[in-house]
Chain A
Amino acid sequence: MKKLIDLTLNDFKLIYRTPSLRAFLVMPGIIFIVVLVLLPMLVENFPSVEPYLPPILIVATFELTQMFGFIYCMVLIEEKETAVAKIYGVLPVSKIGFVLARLFIPTLITTVLTFILLEAQTFYPVAVVPNLVFSLIAGLLVPVYILGISVLAKNRMAGMVWIKVFNIAVVIPVIAFFIPQRFTPLFGIFPTHWPYQGFFSLLEGEAFLWQLIIGLFYLGGLLVIAVRKFALSHFV
């Protein structure tokens, strides 16, 4: 536990001392303002927006994952570019344990922020248990996102490109909301499709838990793959 906190404190030191990364720490604040203040104002003044509230709300919520997603990608890619990652490769620690410990707190913080946002928003009531599952999925997305990009990107330039690609992949399943229903399964290859669909089902009063569970297992599977690939590629 101490190791876990030490690692996180060190990463936060690095983040705090890099102005371009430090700036990203305000991102959840902006999302909270948008969802809790601006969106209600918008709906009040333009009632025609209301039918689009579910996709807006779920996408805004999942954008919470992008803060640590972006920041940690940058930290890890820079660490690899400057060969600091190699030092971890010769320390007496298990590589996989190290990766999991290092990403645990950003995952946890994202989970908690998501939970609070879904509790605090006043548009739709979300019961505690489904909220927890949504929040866990959002949290789990963070390490998958970070490790996936870090494995694929050889340097910061490539990292920026992959971040764009992943960012789009997180948002894109929302299209399923706007197209005929028979096409929606096509978006199932995107992990966030499942919590998005789960959210719509929840609002419709339909069965939604199975969709969330698929999302959870899908991300869990991706996490296992990403951790393994990362452990093989990051430390050499």
Chain B
Amino acid sequence: MIKVNGLSFTYPGTDAPTLKALNFDIKRGEIFGFLGPSGAGKSTTQKIMYKILHHFEGEVLIDDKPLSKWGKEYYARIGVGFELPNHYLKLTARENMALFASFYPKKQIQDIPQLFEMVGLEADIDKKVEAYSKGMKMRLNFIRALLHNPEILFFDEPTAGLDPMNAKKIREHIIQLKNQGKTIFITTHNMYTADELCDRVSFIVDGALQITEPPATLKHNYGRDVVRVDLEDKQSAEFPLQGLGQNPQFLAFLNQAPLLRINTLEATLEEVFLQVTGKALKI
């Protein structure tokens, strides 16, 4: 559905390129993600893809048609969840939504109160946005991206700045969108978001893509298939996952002292990121 070949971009007035020959593709109906630290070029890539930044090198194809050949009808097909809350503060949330809804073909527009209900804002629909908390504004950003029921969704840091509860809800909604057949491109610096949502994730550092794989594959390839057993008497040992139940040393070890904990040593996405890129995700 989306294909990007050799995408490079330099901001006017700067000399070093921000994006360096990116190659990736996004399949219909998948959640694809960029995972990388702040300043890596994630937002820049999305801005190019929704045609806010121009004059890039390389090729961006949407349904095999170059981005430059798409006119304003492109925007009826895509939804954009911006990184930071942006609303008319003096208007109510409903007025904000109604205003932007008026720019799309009527038949595409979703039921607005239902969207508010979906993110738990139904009681606040007629409040001015200036009375909203950051978390509420971000949820409003989220549903605004869905207003016209677009096929393709761009979410830039969809869980940044949200408390764990709301972050979890947004992640669940994004998975629901995927189940409805949407094609979704997210960016994040949060390994949980990437791990939980992405069918495939690309690591991006300093404007370059390092690797693109499903999170499970990465964790498997870079982790070790062992369990680590810690006993209360401070002893610990590692045993291979394969045949663990029949492993006599493992069973004997368990009986030596009361058990403190057992962990699998599968890598976290964050550890894989560090191993692959040599850079920490933390910002």
Contact = CB atoms under 8 A, between A and B. Distances in A.
Q: Do A and B come from one complex?
A: yes
Interface of A: 3, 6, 10, 13-14, 17-18, 79, 82-84, 86-87, 89-94, 235-236
B82 A83 contact: yes
A187 B86 CA distance: 42
Contacts of B91: 10, 13-14, 17
B52 A235 contact: yes
Contacts of A18: 90
Given A6-B102, A83-B82, A90 B89 contact: no
**Chain B interface, >50% SS class:** loop
A3 B102 CA distance: 8
Contacts of B160: none
B84 A83 contact: yes
B225 interface: no
Given A13-B95, A94-B72, A84 B88 contact: yes
Interface string B71-110: 0111110101010101111110001000110111000000
B53 interface: yes
B75 A90 contact: yes
B50 interface: yes
11 contacts: A18-B90, A83-B84, A83-B86, A86-B86, A87-B82, A87-B86, A90-B51, A91-B103, A91-B104, A92-B73, A92-B76
A6 B98 CA distance: 11
B182 interface: no
B72 A92 contact: yes
Q: Which of A6, A84, A92, A236 has the most CB of B within 10 A?
A: A92
Contacts of A87: 82, 86, 100, 144
A82 B89 contact: yes
B4 to A, nearest CB: 18
B75 A91 contact: yes
Contacts of B95: 10, 13
- Pairs of residues from A and B, 7 with the lowest C-beta to C-beta distance, nearest first: A83-B86, A92-B75, A17-B90, A91-B103, A92-B76, A92-B72, A90-B80
A91 B100 contact: yes
A87 B47 CA distance: 12
Interface residues of B, number: 27
Contact of B86 (A6, A13, A82, A91): A82
Interface string B41-69: 00000010011110000000000000000
Contact of B87 (A84, A89, A93): A84
A3 B50 CA distance: 24
Contacts of A94: 72
A94 B91 CA distance: 24
Nearest to B47: A236
Contacts of A91: 75, 100, 103-104
B10 to A, nearest CB: 15
Contacts of B51: 90
Contact of B99 (A10, A83, A89, A92): A10
A8 to B, nearest CB: 12
A14 B95 CA distance: 11
A91 B160 CA distance: 24
B239 to A, nearest CB: 53
B102 to A, nearest CB: 6
Interface in B139-158: 144
Contact of A90 (B50, B87, B90, B99): B50
A83 B80 CA distance: 13
Given A14-B90, A90-B50, 5 more contacts: A14-B88, A18-B90, A82-B89, A92-B73, A93-B103
- With most chain A CB atoms within 10 A of its CB, the pick from B87, B95, B99, B104 is B99
A94 B87 CA distance: 21
Contacts of A83: 82, 84, 86
Contact of A236 (B53, B74, B103): B53
Contacts of A92: 72-76, 103-104
A99 B61 CA distance: 29
